[in-house]
Amino acid sequence: MKYFSTRDRSLRYTSAEAVKMGLSRDGGLLTPCEIPKIDRAFLESLVNERYQVRAARVMSLYLTDYTEEELSAFAENAYGPEKFDTPAVAPIHTLDEATHCLELWHGPTSAFKDMALQMLPQLLSAALRKTGEEKTVCILVATSGDTGKAAMEGFADVPQTKIMVFYPKDGVSAVQEAQMVTQEGVNVGVCAVVGNFDDAQAGVKRIFSDEGIRTVLAERGYVLSSANSINWGRILPQVVYYISAYCDLVRDGKVVMGEKVNFCVPTGNFGDILAAYYAKRMGLPVHMLICASNRNDVLTDFLRTGVYDRKRPFHTTMSPSMDILVSSNLERLLFDLSGEDDEAVSGYMEALAREGRYEVSDAIKAALTKQYWGGFCGEADTSATIARYYRDYGYLIDTHTAVAANVMEQYRRTTGDRTPTVFVSTASPFKFCDHVLRAIGEDPAGDGVELLDQLHETTGVAIPRRLAALKGKARRFDLTCEKLGMDRVVLEFLK
Ligand SMILES: *Cc1c(COP(=O)(O)O)cnc(C)c1O
């Protein structure tokens, strides 16, 4: 299968090239030229398989220049017992007969980013082999907290790669910062940026598009690539868990094969919910995709009006991984809904860059309304939802998951739809101890990793092993730079 750019359908690449490049040269996102179909027999054949087998089978439909043996080996490495704390990998926690929570945080960094970032480095290493690349790939990451750690954990000590992570100095949780600055590995670097996430992201994009820097780095034997969810190698492993979740529900008698379900996804860059959309397009029985935002509600407005308008205040919230005003992966959805109209997509993206706003066609609006419902949840409601799920179900959820739970309830109240619904849990509550403690009525005593014990002692819930181990770990990185100093940090890192 070939991949083309959302801004130019005439550019075509193999899957290995698409994974290696990360982003198309024209600024578009690389996207499969066709969406493979799955049928009932395919799903039935997966119902009694392990997660690893499901992953290899689903990914092989898209990565046609990788062998099944390669993909099986990658899946065993990515999702095995050294990495994930449950053999189910992505288990479902059922709250009542129509309400299920898909837990995606059982990997090494306790956030759902592991689901893709334990796989991407292996896909990329193979892509370097397959394309005869001799240079070392340097992955540049701007992170709002979870991606940076998950990417370093995935790429640490992977041959022919280096990874440099930039995070906003005061924009990540204490546990997230501790996770990043204690990262081990000879090929990793971490730097705090004085500014917010959008500043760090803009800095990375600037370095990517700077021909001068690219030339210097090429002379030193480096090429740049991305581990953000603009890379197709990030999206595809996420398609797997929607299909896997459906198989689990069927296996456990919670839905019957063919019955439709809804997915409700806490959304930032639109990668996770886009993966759910691909699963639906492939033929998974899905009714509605519910897009949950926090106070940064640009997507809620877009799904309701067809107008994307980023000109609004940026709010820093207790669900920082969703604090984002430009959701990059929406571009892939627009491309698909417009009938792969690369000119229309280029037009929208130019308008966004120029005026901070665009309005989609009536045809796209109609398609959006049919498949998506958007809602948002403010700070007080996020806390109240954590408290209520803890009290009513004895179930402790993090701040991002709480946004999804709350918006799922809004959807049900507004529409009366009783379709069985899976809301997606994207992080362990232990990554956001202070907010979670306050939400359940406790006073956080101390800060940073000290709060792990307090949350454990209050709730009896076990601390994820790797987070507990942070307490004794030495800080390895102490670098800070100004927004405009990021390129110097990169040039120094790749000396
Ligand atoms: C990244 C992240 C999200 C948002 O996912 P997108 O794919 O960017 O929409 C939600 N919750 C958590 C905990 C995350 O780390």
Output the pLDDT for position 472: 84
1 pLDDT higher than 90? yes
94: Cβ–Cβ under 8 A, 6 or more apart, which residues? 100, 101, 254
**Atom 2 (ligand 1) nearest CA:** 321
Output the pLDDT for position 448: 79
Q: Quick one: average pLDDT of 410-423?
A: 98
From the list 303, 282, 279, 281, the residue with the least C-alpha distance to 291 is 303
Q: How far apart are alpha carbons 95 and 408 in whole angstroms?
A: 13
What is the whole-number distance in angstroms between the Cα of residue 426 and the centre of ligand 1? 7
Between residues 277 and 227, the one the model is more confident about: 277
Q: How far apart are alpha carbons 70 and 98 in whole angstroms?
A: 37
What is the whole-number distance in angstroms between the Cα of residue 248 and the centre of ligand 1? 23
From the list 131, 93, 141, the residue with the least C-alpha distance to 405 is 93
Least confident of 22-36, 66-80, 91-105, 114-128: 22-36
Output the pLDDT for position 144: 83
Domain boundary assignment for the chain:
88-109+233-431
Q: Quick one: average pLDDT of 339-343?
A: 96
Other beta carbons within 10 angstroms of residue 2's beta carbon come to 16
Residue 318 exposure: Cα atoms within 13 Å on the Cβ side: 24
Binned at pLDDT 50, 70 and 90, residue 452 comes out as very high
81 pLDDT higher than 90? yes
205: Cβ–Cβ under 8 A, 6 or more apart, which residues? none
* Strand 99-103 to 92-96 pairing: antiparallel
What is the whole-number distance in angstroms between the Cα of residue 459 and the centre of ligand 1? 25
Question: Which CATH number is 88-109+233-431's, of 2.40.50.140, 3.40.470.10, 1.10.1670.10, 3.40.50.1100?
Answer: 3.40.50.1100
What is the whole-number distance in angstroms between the Cα of residue 323 and the centre of ligand 1? 9
* Contact status, residue 410 vs residue 251, Cβ threshold 8 Å: no
Pocket probe mutation, ligand 1, options 235, 321, 324, 423, max atoms within 8 Å of Cβ: 321
Q: Relative to the CA of 275, which ligand 1 atom is closest?
A: 7
Output the pLDDT for position 491: 96
What is the whole-number distance in angstroms between the Cα of residue 135 and the centre of ligand 1? 31
Output the pLDDT for position 249: 98
Report phi then psi at 140, rounded to 5: -105, 130
**Atom 1 (ligand 1) nearest CA:** 321
Give the burial class of 311: count Cβ atoms within 10 A of its Cβ; 0-12 exposed, 13-18 middle, 19 or more buried: exposed
What mean pLDDT value characterizes the chain? 95
From the list 222, 313, 237, the residue with the least C-alpha distance to 274 is 237
403 pLDDT higher than 90? yes
Between residues 150 and 11, the one the model is more confident about: 150
Q: Quick one: average pLDDT of 211-232?
A: 92
Output the pLDDT for position 324: 87
Output the pLDDT for position 44: 98
87 pLDDT higher than 90? yes
The two tokens of residue 124 are 């990329």
What is the whole-number distance in angstroms between the Cα of residue 424 and the centre of ligand 1? 10
What is the whole-number distance in angstroms between the Cα of residue 113 and the centre of ligand 1? 7
Output the pLDDT for position 107: 97
Q: Quick one: average pLDDT of 407-436?
A: 97
Q: Relative to the CA of 105, which ligand 1 atom is closest?
A: 13
Output the pLDDT for position 288: 98
The two tokens of residue 3 are 């991949």
Output the pLDDT for position 23: 83
From the list 161, 150, 157, 152, the residue with the least C-alpha distance to 126 is 161
Distances in Å between the Cα of 66 and the Cα atoms of 73, 77, 129 are 11, 16, 11
Q: How far apart are alpha carbons 148 and 295 in whole angstroms?
A: 23
Q: Identify the residue whose tokens are 């991305």.
A: 226
What is the whole-number distance in angstroms between the Cα of residue 41 and the centre of ligand 1? 32
Q: Report helix angle 271-282 to 232-251, nearest 10.
A: 60
Distances in Å between the Cα of 234 and the Cα atoms of 165, 338, 357, 362, 420 are 17, 23, 27, 30, 27
Q: Among 162-176, 206-220, 328-342, which range has the highest average pLDDT?
A: 328-342
Output the pLDDT for position 206: 86
**Atom 11 (ligand 1) nearest CA:** 426
Pocket probe mutation, ligand 1, options 297, 319, 322, max atoms within 8 Å of Cβ: 322
Output the pLDDT for position 137: 94
Active site residues: 113
282 pLDDT higher than 80? yes
Residues found in the chain? 495
Binned at pLDDT 50, 70 and 90, residue 201 comes out as confident
pLDDT cut 90: percent of the chain above it: 87
Q: Quick one: average pLDDT of 21-35?
A: 89
What is the whole-number distance in angstroms between the Cα of residue 320 and the centre of ligand 1? 9
For the stretch 371-399, pLDDT in tens is: 999 999 999 999 999 999 999 999 999 99
Output the pLDDT for position 172: 87
229 pLDDT higher than 90? no
Q: Relative to the CA of 266, which ligand 1 atom is closest?
A: 10
pTM above 0.85, yes or no: yes
Least confident of 195-199, 314-318, 319-323: 195-199
Distances in Å between the Cα of 391 and the Cα atoms of 34, 318, 319, 433, 439 are 46, 20, 21, 17, 11
Output the pLDDT for position 425: 98
- 3-state SS of the chain? CCEEECCEEEEEECHHHHHHHCCCCCCCCEEECCCCCCCHHHHHHHHCCCHHHHHHHHHHCCCCCCCHHHHHHHHHHHHCCCCCCCCCCCCEEEEECCEEEEECCCCCCCECHHHHHCCHHHHHHHHHHHCCCCCEEEEEEECCCHHHHHHHHHHCCCCCEEEEEEEECCCCCHHHHHHHHCCCCCCEEEEEEECCHHHHHHHHHHHHCCHHHHHHHHHCCEEEEECCCCCHHHHHHHHHHHHHHHHHHHHCCCCCCCCCEEEEEECCCCHHHHHHHHHHHHCCCEEEEEEEECCCCHHHHHHHHCEEECCCCCCCCCCHHHCCCCCCCHHHHHHHHCCCCHHHHHHHHHHHHHHCEEECCHHHHHHHHHHEEEEECCHHHHHHHHHHHHHHHCCCCCHHHHHHHHHHHHHHHHHCCCCCEEEEECECHHHHHHHHHHHCCCCCCCCCCHHHHHHHHHHCCCCCHHHHHHHHCCCCCCCEEEHHHHHHHHHHHCC
Q: Quick one: average pLDDT of 11-34?
A: 90
Q: How far apart are alpha carbons 135 and 160 in whole angstroms?
A: 7
Q: Relative to the CA of 400, which ligand 1 atom is closest?
A: 11
Output the pLDDT for position 494: 95
447 pLDDT higher than 80? no
Q: Relative to the CA of 267, which ligand 1 atom is closest?
A: 9
Ligand 1 surroundings by CB, under 6 angstroms: 111-113, 146, 229, 266-272, 321-322, 400, 426-427
Report phi then psi at 215, rounded to 5: -65, -45
Q: How far apart are alpha carbons 138 and 493 in whole angstroms?
A: 10
Rg (CA), the chain: 21
